Amino acid sequence: MSTASTAGSPTTAAPISAAGSSLAAARKFKAFATTFSISGPVVYCLTVYMNWPVFTFWPANDHFDWGMVTKGQGPNMLWYGWTLTAILISAGLGIIAMLLPERVIRKIPLALVWIFPILAIPFVVYSLMFWWRLAFKQ
Amino acid sequence: MSGLISSNAFWTIWLFVHLILALGLLGALTHQAMAVALPARKATGGIITRYRAVPAAGYATAVCVLWVLTFLVGSFIYTSYRINIRIPLEQEHYFKTGGFFDFKEHVATLGLVLLPAYWFFWKNAENPEYDNARKGVTLVLAVMCWFLFIVGHVLNNTRGFGS
């Protein structure tokens, strides 16, 4: 990573580092990073809703099963599998975006990077309804 | 770990490592959030002004590394939580606590997937095209981090160190 200039910081007068990093400057990395982060929250919510874990983990005996498995020893854990599914699909979409022309990538609104995770929160709260129901039954 | 340290000590050490990483992440992200939300042109005056005038871009890589490390250590501890903490919580009818922990795990993943764009925006901080997106994603990550930290802290108080 190279050292960046201190001029023109949009937010602070303090120095900015590594603006000249080759990875950060790469057009294809921009396409990958923005597509990955925009699609990530959407894909994650979809993965949780559809229950698509890449694998199921059984912590009682440290056992893994491919896909969604409900019968095993002790409680199962799906969150690892959901997270990996979301990362793999988002990375796939990011790689596809790298192949698209620049003019298409420039049309993607960058604000979606922070809007989608905010919109995901109500869904996440709703997806945990079984906990809230139990809590309010008491 | 049998023979070296007890299982309790083993998980307590990892919980402590998780806490230290989380504290570093919280500090870095809060600095950055303050720098983008209330930018200060000069690092002069009181502590608040100096706090807002940090070289925010320099934190980006550290934030990404700390988020991933905290996430990985938290994921490791989660296996013990699922057996040793969650089941007793359910038996004691601490449903809101259990629900908020599950909420926390989802938020941690939502934050994780934002990191590539976050890093890209900060490494191109001289480009005004990314100003709003950088500000938005930084503030979202900072709010997420505070939420994760507070829920983790409360959960630890419910059934954490030494339990």
Q: Give per-residue pLDDT as tens, A15-73.
A: 444 445 677 678 889 999 999 999 999 999 999 999 999 999 999 888 999 999 888 78
Domain housing B70: 7-159
In a domain, B136, yes or no: yes
Determine the Cα–Cα distance for residues B73 and B39; give it in Å rounded to an integer. Answer: 33
Residue B137, in any domain of the structure: yes
- Print the domain residue range for A108: 23-137
Average pLDDT, chain A: 85
For residue A37, the chain B residue with the least C-alpha distance is: B114
Q: Is residue A52 part of a domain?
A: yes
Q: Smallest Cβ distance to B125: which of A19, A37, A57?
A: A19
CA distance B119 to chain A (A): 8
**B107: chain A residues, CB-CB within 8 Å:** 121, 124
pLDDT at B50 over 80: no
3-state secondary structure B35-96: HHHCCCCCCCCCHHHHHHCCCHHHHHHHHHHHHHHHHHHHHHHHHHHHHHHHHHHHHCCCHH
B-proximal residues of A, 33-92, CB under 8 Å: 33-34, 36-38, 40-41, 44, 48, 57, 59-60, 62, 74-75, 77, 79-80, 82-83, 86-87, 90
Query: What value does the mean pLDDT take over residues B141-156?
Result: 93
Q: What is the pLDDT of residue A6?
A: 33
CA-CA distance, A28 to A94, in Å (whole number)?
9
Specify burial of residue B66 (Cβ count, 10 A radius: 0-12, 13-18, 19+): buried
Is A121 within a domain? yes
Residue tagged 């095993």 (tokens): A72
Within-domain flag for B115: yes
The verdict on residue A132 lying in a domain is: yes
Contacts of B60 in chain A (CB under 8 A): 17
The DSSP element (H or E) to which B125 belongs, if any, is: none
**Residue B74 pLDDT grade (very low, low, confident, very high; cuts 50, 70, 90):** very high
The residue of chain A nearest to residue B139, with distances taken between CA atoms, is A114
A105: pLDDT strictly greater than 50: yes
| Position A3 in a domain | no
Q: In chain B, how many domains are there? A: 1
Give a yes or no: residue A7 inside a domain.
no
Q: Looking at the 3D structure of chain A, how many domains does it have?
A: 1
Q: Residue B2 pLDDT > 80, yes or no?
A: no
Residue A13 lies in a domain: no
- Asked if this assembly's ipTM is beyond 0.90, the reply is no
A79 located within any domain: yes
Cα torsion through B86, B18, B31, B38, rounded to 10 = -10
Q: Is residue A14 part of a domain?
A: no
